């Protein structure tokens, strides 16, 4: 196992770092650094800058616009994006729906959707969670009934991130309610958000932000050609997709940037509290350990060419706990009398990070997955 970067990989890192420094717009960098709201236009502007460079979808096959980079180069690129403070590349199209289409989609589906995802012409969101069906995803109740060349969809999705921006949503729906095993009878549908019967209602978060939504489906007619893979085999698609989602939740580059900012801020506040300094040191050690663990996964993928298995849940658990820990320490470091810092700088980020241990499958569920699939308990 080799956890060190080669000379070529270090040279690649310097190339990426230099390009990002020159091409990341200053106003977007400032917005990210100040935890300001990023509009749909902000997100798509950065997406299109990377698309023009040919770097927006590094993991895609070259014939669909991928870079041909190996897994280590892709990891370096993602880390540099986080460390420089670029806007996030919204994953629902690029790194969730697209890999599913590449693996399970028909040629017609690939030709229809992939170029538009790449160019940022279609904005996607995810329709998985439902009221009472979040981490226990197999209990979902949204129904899709086949009627000739259409599915008629009825139900509700919740916590739909950026659904108010989305042109399309990929959904898990129940097409056969009579099966004995809940994971069976679920299908994966692509739904145009402009279809009659689709209603998006905002859910305002505790920091006042509009990021997530409820999405209602009332007799929504979805062409049968928008079914991905086989009817009743959507759980296979969902598991494949979640492996990619959890690999990307560690956000090591972003956590490195936040750690550096926190250390600088703590120094400016002249914090000498031993317990604070001890916890800060522990978080830094945990982040280093997380990076090494991530490199182990990368080395395994480099050697086998296979996507990550169930143990990738370790990255999700530890990465999100570190993200939360950094915001908790930032709140402790702030002067209680500095209302601006608490209300506008650290407070919103602290509130936003509360969700990280829940999305992509709660960390409790991730521990169960590791116990069952990796440890055999």
Task: Identify the CA nearest to 348 among candidates 132, 204, 226.
Answer: 204
DSSP 308: P
CB 262 within 8 A of CB 279: no
Distance CA 278, CA 283 (A): 9
Pairing relation of β-strands 143-147 and 150-157? Answer: antiparallel
CB 125 within 8 A of CB 165: yes
Cα–Cα distance measured from residue 142 to residue 276, given in angstroms and rounded to the nearest whole number: 47
State the virtual CA torsion across 169, 175, 179, 181 in degrees, nearest 10: -10
Residue 245 catalytic?
yes
Q: Which two tokens stand for residue 55?
A: 């770097």
3-class DSSP state of 168: strand
User: How close are the terminal C-alpha atoms of the chain, in Å?
Assistant: 27
Give the up-direction half-sphere exposure of residue 120: CA atoms within 13 A in the CB hemisphere.
18
In terms of Cα–Cα distance, which of 84, 135, 110 is closest to 260? 84
Residue from 351, 350, 352 nearest 333 by CA: 350
Which residues, 6 or more positions from 195, have their beta carbon under 8 angstroms from its beta carbon? 220, 221, 222
Q: Is 21 exposed, middle or buried (0-12, 13-18, 19+ CB in 10 A)?
A: exposed
DSSP 8-state assignment for residue 309: -
Q: Are 198 and 168 in contact (CB under 8 A)?
A: no
Residue tagged active-site, from 78, 80, 211, 245: 245
State both tokens at 135: 């981490």
Distance CA 202, CA 319 (A): 28
At 296, which helix (H) or strand (E)?
A: helix 274-304
**Which residues are designated catalytic?**
245
């Amino acid at each position: 196992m080799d956890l060190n970067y080669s000379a070529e990989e270090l040279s690649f890192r310097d190339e990426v770092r230099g390009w990002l420094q020159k091409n990341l717009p200053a106003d977007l960098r400032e917005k990210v650094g100040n935890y300001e709201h990023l509009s749909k236009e902000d997100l798509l502007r950065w997406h299109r800058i990377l698309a023009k460079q040919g770097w927006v979808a590094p993991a895609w096959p070259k014939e669909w616009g991928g870079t041909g980079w190996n897994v280590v180069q892709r990891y370096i690129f993602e880390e540099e994006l986080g460390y420089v403070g670029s806007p996030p590349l919204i994953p629902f199209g690029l790194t969730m729906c697209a890999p599913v289409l590449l693996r399970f989609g028909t040629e017609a589906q690939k030709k229809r959707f992939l170029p538009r995802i790449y160019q940022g012409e279609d904005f996607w969101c995810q329709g998985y969670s439902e009221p009472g069906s979040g981490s226990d995803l197999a209990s979902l109740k949204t129904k899709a009934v086949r009627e000739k060349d259409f599915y008629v969809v009825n139900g509700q999705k919740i916590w739909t991130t950026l659904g108010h921006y989305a042109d399309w949503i990929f959904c898990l729906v129940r097409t056969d309610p009579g099966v004995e095993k809940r994971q069976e009878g679920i299908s994966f549908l692509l739904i145009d958000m402009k279809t009659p019967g689709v209603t998006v209602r905002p859910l305002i978060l505790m920091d006042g932000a509009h990021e997530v939504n409820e999405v209602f489906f009332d007799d929504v007619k979805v062409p049968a050609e928008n079914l991905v893979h086989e009817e009743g085999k959507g759980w296979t698609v969902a598991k494949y997709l979640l492996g990619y989602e959890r690999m990307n939740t560690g956000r090591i580059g972003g956590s490195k940037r936040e750690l550096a900012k926190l250390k600088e801020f703590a120094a400016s506040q002249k914090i000498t509290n031993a317990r604070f300094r001890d916890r800060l040191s522990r978080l830094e050690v945990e982040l280093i350990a997380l990076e090494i663990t991530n490199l182990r996964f990368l080395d395994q993928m480099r050697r086998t060419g296979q996507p990550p298995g169930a143990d990738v849940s370790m990255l999700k658990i530890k990465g999100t706990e570190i993200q939360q820990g950094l915001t908790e320490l930032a709140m402790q470091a702030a002067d209680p009398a500095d209302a601006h810092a608490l209300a506008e700088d650290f407070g919103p980020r602290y509130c936003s990070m509360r969700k990280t241990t829940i999305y992509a499958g709660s960390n409790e569920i991730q521990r169960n997955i590791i116990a069952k699939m990796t440890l055999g308990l």
